[in-house]
């Protein structure tokens, strides 16, 4: 496996064109296929000298383009690492007075600063009424028994539950025991 990775890295350091270097997608796909054929043949030991010569020839003919592509890749990596290091630290969690009761149970100094939790961003507010868990027990009491039954049936159907599934499974288990 390590040898395969070494061969792949070595070939791809020479054959390092990107999609932007080609005007036509078909030409780019043919290029990728040629590169994979070279990698496969070298790994499998098929005409290794022929493909090594092909790589050396390609490297001589396209030396400027290879160096330009390597420089472009190094510049992109440098920009990516620079952007990562320059990102602002995570803003503290903004809280309301209602959150103070919850904060009382947290040991001071454990991930807290003066304005709240460190490294935690506010979560999106859930849409009310989509789930039974979102509703308070008081609102469930106000519903009529028919409305509760209808809601329960819709939840079962939405979850994929039907009584036919229970009946079929019971029949299958009964017949499998015979």
The pLDDT value given to residue 139: 52
Distances (CA, A) of 85 to 77, 78, 79, 80, 81: 12, 11, 10, 9, 6
Q: 59 with 14: CB under 8 angstroms?
A: yes
Distance between alpha carbon 101 and the CA centroid of its chain, in Å? 36
pLDDT digit of tens for each residue in the chain (178 aa)?
788 899 999 898 888 888 888 888 999 999 999 999 999 999 988 888 998 999 999 888 888 888 888 888 888 888 888 776 665 555 555 555 555 544 444 444 444 444 455 555 666 666 655 555 545 555 555 678 888 888 877 777 777 777 787 888 888 888 888 7
**Residue ranges covered by each domain of the chain:** 2-86, 88-123, 132-176
Residue 117: beta bridge partners?
112
117: left (phi over 0), alpha (psi -120 to 50) or beta: beta
Total-model pTM:
0.44
Predicted pLDDT at 130 = 52
Q: Dihedral sign, CA of 69, 72, 77, 78?
A: positive
């Amino acid at each position: 496996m390590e040898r395969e990775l070494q061969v792949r890295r070595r070939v791809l350091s020479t054959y390092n064109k990107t999609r932007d270097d080609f005007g036509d997608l078909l030409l780019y796909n043919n290029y990728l296929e040629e590169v994979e054929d070279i990698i496969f043949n070298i790994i499998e030991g098929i005409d290794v000298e022929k493909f090594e010569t092909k790589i050396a020839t390609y490297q001589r003919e396209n030396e400027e383009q290879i160096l330009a592509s390597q420089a472009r890749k190094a510049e992109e990596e440098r920009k990516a690492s620079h952007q990562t290091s320059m990102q602002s630290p995570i803003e503290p969690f903004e809280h309301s007075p209602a959150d103070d009761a919850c904060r009382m149970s947290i040991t001071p100094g454990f991930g807290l600063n003066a304005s709240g939790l460190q490294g935690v961003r506010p979560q999106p507010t859930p849409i009310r009424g989509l789930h039974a868990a979102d509703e308070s027990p008081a609102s469930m009491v106000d519903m009529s028994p028919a409305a509760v039954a209808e809601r329960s049936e819709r939840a079962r159907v939405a979850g994929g539950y039907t009584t036919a599934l229970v009946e079929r499974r019971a029949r299958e288990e009964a017949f499998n025991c015979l």
